[in-house]
Structure 1
Amino acid sequence: MGEFWPVPDVLTYLAGSWRAERSVRDLANGESGKFTGTTAFAPLEDGGLLHQESGTFTWQGVPRPAERTLRFLPGGSPGTADVRFADGRPFHDLSLTSGHHIADHPCAADLYRGEFLVLDADHWRTVWRVGGPTKDLVLTTDYARVG
């Protein structure tokens, strides 16, 4: 991966709509899947963003509708975000001031480690590595700004 693109304010950068394409690989059994859809970041009253993702997830050849909602709230320092699940539980912190960020999220006995990479003004990527007694996955999502 080449140079990262620094983002002074993550919430300003993410605001708007993005095309999302995700590959999901199960390293334990070799299965793979794909998500294609959109991710919208809409303003919240508290200065944060409501992240709503919707599209189609195909696993073992079977397409299904898929969606998720997160809340990206202003973080503890300028330009950062506190990412939370829809129900308010903490997910991870996020700072893109260097254009690159690593975040960890323990979930039961599994560990989710996310790498965030800003490629330019209109493209970014996440790579989540999920490991533990029941999961051995890599989820790579490429985002491209719409409009």
Structure 2
Amino acid sequence: MGEFRPVPDALDYLAGSWRVERSVRDLAGGEDGEFSGTTVFSPLDGGGLLHHESGTFVWRGVPRPAERTLRFLPGDTPGTADVRFADGRPFHDLDLTSGRHIADHPCSADRYRGEFTVRDADHWRTVWRVRGPAKDLVLTTDYAREDRTTGYAREG
């Protein structure tokens, strides 16, 4: 895949609005879907970023509105993030200081493994491989910056 761009501060890098294009491949069933929309990382009171994604998901030819919300909080190590679901449950860690990060998330009997890669100042990608008794998926998401926010809210 080529070179990765190191990011000294994940939250600062992510702040702003991103165009999102995602492919979803069901390896077990042989079906494909796609998501197209926007992800906005906006400052949270007390530090971190609120991640809100919205757009259209097309599966089996049927388009549906789709959205999700996550919280990207400052991690234990400077420049990293602790990613949580909207309700506060842990999701995964995120360290982009090398430009690439692997994260794991167990979910009941399923295992999610994500690879995050930074291509340049305005493009990054995630690839989630999901395996479980009833799942065999690959979700590939490309992000392209639309607008930059001037940093994230830091605890003061």
TM-score scaled by structure 1? Answer: 0.99
SS at match of 2:98: coil
> Are 1:35 and 2:35 counterparts?
yes
> Are 1:79 and 2:75 counterparts?
no
The aligned runs of 1:1-147 (5 Å cut-off) are 1-147=1-147
Q: Considering Cα pairs closer than 8 Å and 6+ residues apart, tell me whether 1 or 2 has the greater RCO.
A: 2
C-alpha RMSD of matched pairs (Å): 0.4
The whole-number CA distance in structure 2 between the counterparts of 1:78 and 1:49 is: 15
The whole-number CA distance in structure 2 between the counterparts of 1:63 and 1:132 is: 26
1:46 to partner: Cα distance: 1.7
The whole-number CA distance in structure 1 between the counterparts of 2:31 and 2:6 is: 35
Question: Deviations 1:53-93 (Å, cap 9, x if unpaired)?
Answer: 00000000000000000000000000000000000000000
SS at match of 1:146: strand
Paired AA for residue 101 in structure 1 = H
Paired AA for residue 71 in structure 1 = R
The whole-number CA distance in structure 2 between the counterparts of 1:95 and 1:125 is: 14
The whole-number CA distance in structure 1 between the counterparts of 2:28 and 2:105 is: 21
The whole-number CA distance in structure 2 between the counterparts of 1:103 and 1:13 is: 18
1:45 to partner: Cα distance: 1.1
Paired AA for residue 46 in structure 1 = G
Identity of aligned residues (%): 82
Aligned pairs, number: 147
Question: Deviations 1:74-121 (Å, cap 9, x if unpaired)?
Answer: 000000000000000000000000000000000000000000000000
Gaps of 5+ in 1: none
The whole-number CA distance in structure 2 between the counterparts of 1:69 and 1:140 is: 18
Gaps of 5+ in 2: 148-156
SS at match of 2:128: strand
Tell me which residue corresponds to 2:152: none
The whole-number CA distance in structure 2 between the counterparts of 1:34 and 1:132 is: 21
The whole-number CA distance in structure 1 between the counterparts of 2:45 and 2:67 is: 22
Paired AA for residue 40 in structure 1 = V
The whole-number CA distance in structure 2 between the counterparts of 1:140 and 1:73 is: 23
Question: Deviations 1:101-147 (Å, cap 9, x if unpaired)?
Answer: 00000000000000000000000000000001010000000000004
The whole-number CA distance in structure 2 between the counterparts of 1:111 and 1:34 is: 21
